[in-house]
Structure 1
């Protein structure tokens, strides 16, 4: 397929189907050089038909702006509710779990039934407030600098407290999931605390609605090889699910 218009139409059709594409795959598919594909992607981006990324392109803007938690809690609320409800079913009696910040984990906390002997360690004030009146749930609120946009703490003090804990599961909310770059959030300090949380837990479970895939925030939390499971909604593309599973990540669709 050497015709310029045909190539551009093929690229647009493919990216609409898959959500994102890689330069290497397009080179093989269209039998042209990487220089040609990059010129094609630049042409299409200039006309606002896609967004270029490192090594490929995506249909939606991959870069995340920081938003206040009060705004984010209203976005994809139904999907977050389903993700949170399923995640809550994974908590067992006498569990000691970590809950990071975010609005999806807030839905998780709302669905978390009182389990005998449950201990929750969290950086998120909104999560602590959801759980503070639950019988049989002991809440340990991490301390530190309060980040107002996420209603959570960050900093060295919160990180140092985690050195004294070993938890069975971490329920982690993120701003972006990129199969090449990994998990990200819009704040560097929050990303550093999330890394410490991963180190303090035996299993990391990511709670993310499908809008988070193909996105990147400023602060990298970790690569996909550092997590065990992602719980998301049914709007995730089959291509993304296959890629994640090939990387050894369990994907649960609710």
Structure 2
């Protein structure tokens, strides 16, 4: 069928395509396109996602931080540099785990005092030599795959903490499911961090959109801002803004 050939050809060049775009181009209803996508998925030719289709599986498996560091390096550094500009003098911030927020620590150069609360061991190693930075390392069990701490001890400390901003990394961003990560205890820690911060800033490269993982962190409308790269689609940017989320593209 010509429609199917067009969809697969479009996916080969774009990696992800949306139902509404296909409807406008092919002049057919959303119901027809969804049937096409379902049939192509059953043949193993694509993966259906919320509002579209992708050549990549939307489900994420856990990867070690040493492997994740090698993915989208330039994009992550750009996002991290933009995030560093959100930090004010004499600020108190929280940095979660993940390679993008870990990159943020490389660009933090405070002129005056800065307090950093973090679950990430790598963040501590990056910041420990700066005498202007007071570090609160959260304690608990160490996750080898992420080089960060999790567990009841970690979340207990957060009961008595408040900070201005949380810089949060995620494994997946799905408009129905929300923000997610591969580890349930990590997600629970992130939820506790959300409660302790006045502003939630998510650092995520554009490959995270349309993906979901095992453990949900929160709904999209729970966050204040997403800093991402220019690979974000116009429709995803619009959807975020419609939910009241500020989108910064670097």
TM-score (norm 1): 0.89
Quote how far apart the aligned CAs of 1:135 are.
1.9
Deviation at 1:59, TM superposition (A): 3.4
User: Structure 1 residue 116 and structure 2 residue 112: aligned?
Assistant: yes
Contact persistence 1:20–1:59 (CA under 8 A)? no
Report if aligned partners of 2:50, 2:174 keep a CA contact under 8 Å in 1.
Answer: no
Q: What is the aligned partner in structure 2 of residue 44 from structure 1?
A: 40
The answer to whether the Cα contact below 8 Å between 1:208 and 1:231 also exists between their aligned partners in 2 is: yes
Matched residue SS, 2:130: coil
Structure 1 unpaired stretches of 5+: none
After superposition, where does 1:1-254 map in structure 2 within 5 Å? 5-12=1-8, 19-22=16-19, 31-32=28-29, 34=31, 36-53=32-49, 56-254=52-250
| Higher mean displacement: 6-15 or 198-207 | 6-15
Could you tell me how far 1:52 is from its partner in structure 2?
Answer: 1.9
For these two proteins, the number of residue pairs brought into alignment is: 248
Rounded Cα–Cα distance in structure 2 between residues aligned with 1:84 and 1:17: 26
Over 3 Å counting, the alpha-carbon distance change for 1:32 and 1:114 in structure 2 is closer
Checking the alignment, whether the CA contact within 8 Å between 1:241 and 1:251 is kept in structure 2 is yes
Distance apart, 1:110 and its partner CA: 0.5
CA displacement at 1:245 relative to structure 2:
1.0
Q: 1:191-243: CA deviations, max 9, x gaps?
A: 11001101100000000111111111111000111000000111111111111
Structure 1 range deviating more: 37-46 or 169-178: 37-46
TM superposition shift of 1:33? 7.2
Per-residue CA distance 1:22-47 (angstroms, 9 max, x = gap): 5x88679754573x544422321244
Q: Is the 8 A contact 1:125 1:151 kept in 2?
A: yes
CA–CA distance in 2 between the matches of 1:247 and 1:163? 28
Q: Distance in 1 between matches of 2:152 and 2:97?
A: 16
Distance 1:238 1:55 in 2: 14
Q: Does the CA-based 8 Å contact 2:182-2:215 persist in structure 1? A: yes
The Cα RMSD (Å) is 2.2
Is contact 1:115–1:137 with CA below 8 Å preserved after alignment? no
CA distance in 1 between partners of 2:134 and 2:29 (Å): 60
